[in-house]
Chains A and B, each alone.
Chain A
Amino acid sequence: MSKFLLKKVLLIIPLLLGVTVICFTLVNINQSDPAEVSLRVNNITVTKEAIELTRKELGLDKPLINQYFSWLNNLIKGDFGISYENKKPVIDELLEAFPITLYLSLFSIFLIIVFGFIIGVLCALYENTLFDKIVRALIFTTTAIPSFWLALLLIYSFAYYYNIFPSNGFSGFSSLVLPSVTLAITYISTFVRIIRNSIIQTKNSLFMMYAKARGISKYALIKHQVRNAITPFIVALNMSIPRLLAGTVIIENIFALPGLGRVCVHAIFVRDYPIIQSYVLFMAILFIIFNLIADIWVQKYDPRVKQFR
């Protein structure tokens, strides 16, 4: 296990390097000149002199390879650069916005785990009953609904019409209910499907047949089935968490929550490259980390993988 872990961790290094190269290149192959963007974002008249001055200020007058290594070197030191727009350190901008995104994601994950898991198990246990059919129809519908539309629908119903929740902004826990529900609904559908299918498949497996033959109780049988469904659930959840964090972009804009997604969208609009680069890098790192956690989980808890190790 430790050998596997070491191998996985070591693999992260080239992967991260690759990610940094992509982040850096993505910004640099863009048609807009970062120096001009920096000037425009501050509503400064773009003149030849101003561009030259800004290029020097931002280190853009150096060869690309030097710029990359200088950027990488700073990243290692925890310096993510300075925002073009407000001249503040990018890391401060991201850290300031991160708590809102974190609360939003945690609450959504909580909803996904609770509802995704419970409904999934119930659907499998009551396979092909009216309950199962209704849930499957709902899953089909909610998966098809675009999240921005669902968000507006929820605002209209629960904020405007019934006046239960605030329609936008962050003023405590109540502000997170509608955005978290919007964010979680699509994932709940996916997880219900995963859990349901996994349990149904297990129902007809050989080990369940032996278990039944051994005459163990119905409760113990369900426990076996559910335990077997946990691994695909955890793997999918680990892959979903970074997606969920990245997915807050639309939700934060509709619900006017000042989180990471908002910072990123604004940065894209004004082409604040250091922020875009750092956001993409941050998301890529999250994907790598959660992928690693999923791998480790599977290695540790899935006996089928264990036997091939």
Chain B
Amino acid sequence: MKSITKILTFCLILVFFSACQSKENSIKKDELIYASTKDIRDINPHLYSGEMAAQNMVFESLVINTNDGIKPNLAKSWKITNDGKTYIFKLREDVKFSDGLVFDANIVKKNFDAILENKARHAWLELVNQIKSTKVIDKFTFELNLKNAYYPTLTELAMTRPFRFISTNCFKNDKTKDGVKCYVGTGAWILKEHKKNDYALFVKNENYWKNKAKIEKIKWRVIPNHQSILLSLQKGEIDLIFGSDGDMINLDAFTMLEKSNKVKTELSNPIASRAILINTKREITKDLEVRKALEHAINKQAIIKGILNNKETVANTLFSKTTPYCNIDLPVKTFDISMSKKILDNDGWLLNKSTNIREKDGKQLVLKLYYNANNAQEKTISEYIQSNLKDIGIKLQIIGEEKQTFLDRQKSGDFDLQYSLSWGVPYDPQSFISSWRIPAHGDYQAQLGLERKAWLDKTIEDILIQTDDLKRAKLYKDIFSYIHKEDVYIPISYSRTKVVFNPKLKDVGFNLSQYEIPFEKMYFEKSK
């Protein structure tokens, strides 16, 4: 009797477990499951609360940024008048929105006007401030008039937001600034379903005008916990993780996965700049000699080897030489403790042997470095810098803060040192330096102590509207040389985008921007 009961119980457990088998376990190879810690949220292309990768899947721009420069997209060609103030775009005539609406110059104008209606919200992008008027010349010809000849016009038109096109059927009262009724674009993907904080399902746009996507569906799964993402990836429930700077996957986990044969990994070329921002307005760091000493005190190579697993390259300048206008020869500030000590000694910061901290006029050399506590990589790098500075008699207090508090501190300028990451191409350098003029940015606050801050801001303004490429390059050289000489940034490394994926997934690559994912190129290898 007892054995019968045992067998029955065992069978019951078996039935229960088999009933519990997840549907998700059987991955359909026409569906790519991508995991992100974030929901796609509101992907209105004219606003900023949605995930850029998702916006890029549905909405397109007139032109696109590529490694070979700006290329045609929804506009098949364009002409720029001699004064550089008028852009005339010839639009493709074979493009339709996924709701059937024909893409034409009227739609382009309505989209531009909707964006311009919300100028204050796009103030970070100088192009918005430079647009004077928009005009429909004929059904497929659109004219954009600028106040000044603004050189990054095409680059900024190609960015993921805000200059992308949404069907006017989705507009609310002819506007998009207060939200949209639907998310209909001309892109390779159509957003079919969205369950907030759970998943978003994108299906292939069968009527896409360009090369159609090779996969039928993309399921954007939201998994907030990094460890859960890694386990799901190894289990095969998800096919792809894609991200930069430890927001999706940290380098330790990346290296561990690289060694496993269950998944494949790829790293992009260096894309953005990782640096420490020094506040030139603070009591101690306003002293150029202290900033100089800091430049020589940090062992970047050790950070890259020990913390970043040799996956990044040492940065000697704020931007890498491959960034436009940044191929400038600037003096390299090598890791040299004796040099740092000498600079501090000469500056009057003498080591108190009992405390092991340098002092000047009775004041200790104590600095505070703030970082985003949610990013494990930033914490480890900060700890390493702390030990580097201890070696030259500087006490560095490292403070990890929740992201919003970290941003609040940027605005207030209440920091000696702060962790900084640039936005990567195509935003670097023009959009990034443009933000140096905005008080809400840490860069602006950190530069306030510079003798030539007013000149710096004015030069940035001039760069953005300079028509002569040689003169522009000269102005870039001037500002980067000045910033380098004044030691406002301690460049650490050039970061890369990391991707981990199912080995059956092919053609996994990178777009120019670290915020975009080229899903349309990916496909699954056929099962043998």
Contact = CB atoms under 8 A, between A and B. Distances in A.
Given A46-B440, A171-B23, A263-B197, A85 B224 contact: no
Interface stretch (B1-9, B64-72, B135-143, B230-238): B230-238
Nearest to A33: B408
B214 interface: no
Given A168-B232, A258-B222, A42 B47 contact: yes
A292 interface: no
Interface stretch (A71-79, A156-164, A278-286): A156-164
Given A47-B123, A96-B196, A271-B404, A174 B22 contact: yes
Contact of B228 (A41, A42, A168): A168
Interface in B200-234: 221-225, 227-228, 231-232, 234
A25 interface: no
A53 B177 CA distance: 14
Interface residues of B, number: 47
B197 A152 contact: no
A202 interface: no
A214 interface: no
Contacts of A174: 19-22
A253 B235 contact: no
B405 A31 contact: yes
Interface in A164-193: 164-175, 177
Contact of A169 (B19, B123, B223, B411): B223
A45 B222 contact: no
Contacts of B49: 41-43, 85-86
Contact of A50 (B19, B121, B225): B121
A87 B179 contact: yes
Contact of A265 (B17, B224, B231, B411): B224
A269 interface: yes
Contact of B123 (A36, A45, A97, A266): A45
A171 B24 CA distance: 8
A230 to B, nearest CB: 28
A269 B199 CA distance: 20
B120 A163 contact: no
Interface string B217-261: 000011111011001101101000000000000000000000000
A169 B199 contact: yes
A256 B20 contact: no
B120 A47 contact: yes
A262 B404 contact: no
Contacts of B123: 45, 47, 50
A170 B440 CA distance: 40
Interface string A255-290: 110100011011001110000000000000000000
A132 to B, nearest CB: 23
A155 interface: yes
Contacts of A203: none
A37 interface: yes
A40 B410 CA distance: 13
B179 A254 contact: no
Given A31-B408, A256-B224, A269-B402, 19 more contacts: A32-B405, A42-B47, A42-B121, A45-B120, A47-B123, A50-B123, A97-B197, A152-B227, A159-B232, A166-B22, A168-B228, A172-B23, A174-B20, A253-B224, A256-B221, A256-B222, A256-B223, A263-B197, A269-B404
Nearest to B195: A258
Among A87, A96, A174, max chain B CB count under 10 A is at A174
Contacts of A47: 120, 123, 438, 440
B403 interface: yes
B521 interface: no
A87 to B, nearest CB: 6
Contacts of B25: 163, 166
B198 A258 contact: yes
Among B25, B197, B237, B438, max chain A CB count under 10 A is at B197
Interface in A47-74: 47, 49-50, 53
Contacts of B411: 36, 46
Contact of B223 (A46, A168, A270): A168
A37 B408 CA distance: 9
A44 interface: yes
6 contacts: A45-B124, A47-B438, A50-B121, A160-B235, A253-B225, A270-B404
Contacts of B124: 45
B182 interface: no
A177 B122 CA distance: 46
Interface in B380-428: 402-405, 407-408, 411
B2 to A, nearest CB: 18
A77 to B, nearest CB: 23
Given A42-B48, A46-B411, A171 B22 contact: yes
Interface string B94-129: 000000000000000000000000001111100000
B29 interface: no
Contacts of B175: none
Contacts of B122: 45
A174 B221 CA distance: 18
Closest 5 CB pairs of A and B: A43-B48, A166-B22, A174-B20, A258-B197, A258-B198
Given A85-B49, A169-B24, A177-B20, A53 B120 contact: yes
A214 B384 CA distance: 76
A175 B198 contact: no
Contacts of A164: 17, 20-21
Contacts of A53: 120
